[in-house]
Amino acid sequence: MKHLEGPARYHWYKLNVFVRWNKSTNQTIVLLFETPPDIVPRLLEQLGTPDSNVLQCPFWFYPLLLGEVARLQESAVWGIRDQVRAIEKRSWAQGLHLDPDYRDLHDIARHAIHVSETLDVAVQTIERMLSRHKELMRPLPSENRWQAIHSDIQFFESFISSLRCRSASNEKRLLNEIQLSFNTAAQYNASTSVKIGLATQSDSDTMKSIAFVTLTFLPPTFVSAIFSMSFFDFSADSGWAISDKFWLYWAFAVPTTVLTAVAWVFLRRFRTPVTWQ
C-alpha cells in the first residue's frame, strides 16, 4: 500500500504473510514480514485472543488481515483524494492555471496510478481466497462458522472494490485538472498572441503610411537634389547650362547604390537567426 503525504512525500506499507493451518491440532502458524509497526499490536492482540469456535476453519485469520489491509488502502485512497481536492480548490488568483506546476501534477497522478494498481492486486488476491474457501466449504454447506468467515471475506472484497472505484475517480479528476490547466494556459497564450498580432498589424499600418508619404516626396526630393548641384548653371547671362563634369555624379552614385544593395542582401542571408529561450 502506498501512502501519499504530498507530491514528493510518500511511503510504502508492505505486508508479507505466511499462514499454515494444522488440521489435526487446529493450530495456525502466522509469519509476518516487514509489517508496519502500527499494525503489529492490533494483530498480536487479535491473534492472542481468538474465538475458539473459528480455529477449526483454516481461513479464520484472513478477515483479521483483510481488515488491516482495508484500513491502510482506505487511508491511501483518501490521501490521493485530499491532494486532488487541494488542487481543485486552489484560487485562480494564484496563477495555477496560467502557470501550472506540471511536475507536481504528474507526481500526484503517478501516485494515484500506484494506489489503483495495489487495489487491483488486492481485489484479485481476495477473489482467489474466496474461490479457494468456497472449494473447502463444499463438504460443509451448513457450517455456520465457515459461512460467517466467507461472508467476512466477501465484505472486504466489496469494500476494496469500492475503494478501487474511488481511486479511479481520483485519477479522472486529476486528469481533468491537468487538461484544464493545459487548455487554460494555451488559451491565455493564444489570446496574448492575438494581441501581439493586432499590435503588429497596427504598427504595420503606421509603417505603410510613413512609407507612402516617403514615396510621395521622394521623386521631388530627388529632382531638387539633382538641380541644386553645381553641375547646373541657371544664370541669366548664360541661360541653362550643364557642366561637362556631370557624369561624375553618376560615376559615384550608381556604384554606391549597387554596393549598398549587395551589402544588405549579404547581411540578411548570413546573419545569425534569433532564437527564443
Residue 102 domain-assigned? yes
121, HSE (Cβ side, Cα atoms, 13 Å): 11
Three-class SS state of 32: strand
Which of the two residues, 95 and 71, has the higher pLDDT score?
A: 71
What is the DSSP track for 131-199? HHHHHHHTT-TT-HHHHHHHHHHHHHHHHHHHHHHHHHHHHHHHHHHHHHHHHHHHHHHHHHHHHHHHH
* 200 is a domain residue: no
The three-class DSSP label of residue 241 is strand
The pLDDT of residue 238: 62
Task: Give the domain CATH number at 179.
Answer: 1.20.58
Query: Grid coordinates standing for 164?
Result: 478501487
Task: Tell whether 164 is covered by a domain.
Answer: yes
- Tell me the CB-side half-sphere exposure of residue 81, using CA atoms within 13 A: 13
What mean pLDDT do residues 170-184 have?
Answer: 84
Q: What's the domain count of the chain?
A: 1
Provide the 8-state DSSP code for 272. P
The tens digit of pLDDT for each residue in 74-115 reads 999 999 998 888 888 875 545 555 566 778 888 888 899 999
Angle at 243 between CA 240 and CA 245, to 5 degrees: 160
Angle (nearest 5°) at CA 153 between 3 and 41: 50
19 within domain boundaries: yes
User: Which pLDDT belongs to residue 7?
Assistant: 66
Task: State yes or no: pLDDT of 233 exceeds 60.
Answer: yes
How many whole angstroms separate alpha carbon 263 and alpha carbon 256?
A: 11
pLDDT digits over 2-21, tens only?
888 776 788 888 888 888 88
Q: Is the pTM of this model over 0.75?
A: no
Question: Domain limits at 98?
Answer: 2-195
